[in-house]
Structure 1
Amino acid sequence: MPAYHILKIKAITPSSIGASSFVLILESTHSTNLSFPIVIGNQEAQSISIILEGISIKRPLMHDLFINVFSLIDVSLDFVEITRFNDGVFFAELNLLNDDKHIVVDARPSDAIALAIRLNKEIRIPTSLFDSICINSSEISESGSISDVDIVISKSDLEMELKKALADENYEVAASLRDKIEQLNAKK
């Protein structure tokens, strides 16, 4: 069994949790029937989608700027790794090279992935972590939406969406979010 899985992007879809979030579905290249979702922000989803869809832009986005800075300071991206999952939050690292020096930088997975796909670098996840969070792709419909699977999202994100739903007087959404928060609290 490999120490890590190499991931590819299977889909990006709007999240049912809120208008400002999207679900990024990552799939193992070792086991294409296994994948997992990460909730990401609107800007990161746009940045990733631009590359996936081959859209050219006139001005650099933040991830393009990072790449330009990397080249100016003679740093290259070796690979990115999703390293852990704690309390509903994924963590990642950029693995950089400068001459013969290996540098590891903490990053949000969405930002790390946006950089990796721009530079055609590997997106990795330790096998032990992947095995603990992956779902069978049969649970994900062809449109990329997740059916009967709870999307991994942090309690703070849910609370933020709840406040927004209440401010917008969207009480059905607010009740659903309240229930999800209560479910998370019950698991602790």
Structure 2
Amino acid sequence: MRKIRLNILSLNQSVTQNQSFAVILSETDGNRRLPIVIGAFEAQAIALIMENVKIMRPMTHDLMKNVIVQLGGTLEEVRISNLSEGVFFAELVLKKNGELFTIDSRTSDAIAMAIRFDCPVYTYETILEMGGITVDEPEEKEEKKKEKEPPKEEKAKPKSTSSKKTQDLTSFALPELQKLLTKALENEDYEQAAGIRDEISKREKS
């Protein structure tokens, strides 16, 4: 099965779950995004490395890295290997003395380890199809923006869409959900877009 490489695009506070964060992974050679909700502790562990913050004592993921290195191993890669009932599963691929070892891991911990070892993060096409969001290329977004913009003298004030983050998506009709999805993608709110996409898929299957 062909692996697809991902990069860490951003880390944001979750709009769907209290005291949680969303790490957004982007496809290296494509225009899909994979939003994954993680806990505050794991978000902090990732943010410290992203922002190059130095700490006095090692945190849990730093300790794990130190143990692996001291035992003569290294982290070769991280694989986001499965998605079941909204939960992502991951694997750490360790290497020692030329031998590879695969260890089950929470995805948040796996990403925190990957960023410390500066190793690649991969997933598979099936995972991106189920949990990913496709975004327009910059040129396409600009063209769509031009098409939607009315003449300047007739341009209306944009309507606020902030209420969609607090409203139950089941209260929206399907055409409204399609509009909300488009707006979320334009705003690069991939976590919200994923939730809207899932609601649309649920409606279409029923």
CA distance, structure 1, for counterparts of residue 88 and residue 54 of structure 2: 29
Shift of 1:130: 1.8
8 Å CA contact 2:78, 2:114 repeated in 1: yes
Match of residue 96 from structure 1? 94
**Quick check: 2:16–2:192 contact (8 Å CA) kept in 1?**
no
Q: Structure 2 unaligned runs (5+)?
A: 137-184
Of 169, 188, 194, the residue aligned with 1:149 is 194
Question: Partner of 1:149: helix, strand, or coil?
Answer: helix
Matched residue SS, 2:195: coil
Amino acid at match of 2:14: S
Instruction: Identify the residue that residue 84 of structure 1 maps to in structure 2.
Output: 82
Letter in 2 for 1:54: N
Question: What TM-score results when the alignment is normalised by the length of structure 1?
Answer: 0.74
Tell me the amino acid that sits aligned with residue 19 of structure 1. Answer: N
Supply the AA of the counterpart residue of 2:194. V
Cα deviation, residue 55, structure 1: 0.9
Map of 2:128 onto structure 1: 130
Distance 1:97 1:58, change over 3 A: same
- Deviation (angstroms), 1:145: 5.6
| Corresponding pairs, count | 154
Q: 2:90 touches 2:105 (CA, 8 Å); kept in 1?
A: yes
Question: SS in structure 2 opposite 1:9?
Answer: strand
Cα distance, 1:147 vs structure 2:
4.2
Tell me the equivalent position of 1:107. Answer: 105
Is the alpha carbon distance of 1:128 and 1:147 closer, same or farther for their aligned partners in structure 2, counting shifts above 3 Å? closer
Query: How far has the Cα of 1:16 moved from its partner?
Result: 1.9
Q: 1:82-138 CA distances to partner (integer Å, 9 max, x unpaired)? A: 000011110000000110211000001111111111111000001232233211235
Q: Distance in 2 between matches of 1:79 and 1:148?
A: 28
| Mapped contact 1:39–1:151 kept (Cα < 8 A) | no
Q: Which runs of 5+ in 1 are unaligned?
A: 153-179
SS in 1 for 2:55: coil
Over 3 Å counting, the alpha-carbon distance change for 1:43 and 1:135 in structure 2 is same
Structure 2 counterpart of 1:98, one-letter code: K
**Percent of aligned positions that are identical:** 35
Match of 1:61 in 2: 59
Q: Which has the larger radius of gyration?
A: 2
Matched residue, 2:5? 6
1:141 counterpart letter in structure 2: N
Q: 1:121 to 1:148 in 2, by over 3 A?
A: closer
Given that 2:35 and 2:194 are in contact with CA atoms closer than 8 Å, whether structure 1 keeps it comes out as no
Query: Structure 1 or 2: larger helix share?
Result: 2
Runs of 4+ in 1 over 3 A off after TM superposition: 144-149
Identify the residue that residue 158 of structure 1 maps to in structure 2.
none
Match for residue 156 of structure 1? none
Distance 1:86 1:149 in 2: 15
How many angstroms apart in 2 are the aligned matches of 1:71 and 1:124? 22
| 8 A Cα contact 2:14 2:191, kept in partner | no
- Matched residues in 1 for 2:43 and 2:187: separation? 20
